Homo-oligomer: A and B are copies of this chain.
């Protein structure tokens, strides 16, 4: 599996609007097991996104889907920047499909 853990900063005052865009239903995302959008309780502009995919290629491919590109275009003006971005290798756990 392939995982991402990242923190982004919304433009001042735009966190809730950005979260709403990030949670817009973009339809099927092949290979996406988990995608969680969370507020950072310690920073009113910060958002954590954690993702689990079957593999890195599925994540990469998702970025080319027309509906995902449209969502990114809408979100971009509300994003001030990215603080941290980590790739991981999820091994297992709870709340994932039963995969090897």
Decide if A13 is an interface residue (CB 8 Å cutoff). no
Decide if A38 is an interface residue (CB 8 Å cutoff). yes
A interface, by DSSP: helix, strand, loop or mixed? strand
Q: Are A93 and B19 in contact (CB under 8 A)?
A: no
Q: Residue-by-residue, is A76-100 near B (CB-CB < 8 Å gives 1, otherwise 0)?
A: 0000000000111111111110000
Contact of A87 (CB < 8 Å), options: B32, B41, B50, B88 = B41
For A37, the chain B residues whose CB sits under 8 A away are 90-93
For A29, the chain B residues whose CB sits under 8 A away are 94
Taking beta carbons and an 8 Å cutoff, which residues of A are in contact with B? Answer: 1, 3, 5, 19, 23, 29, 32-41, 48, 50, 52, 86-96
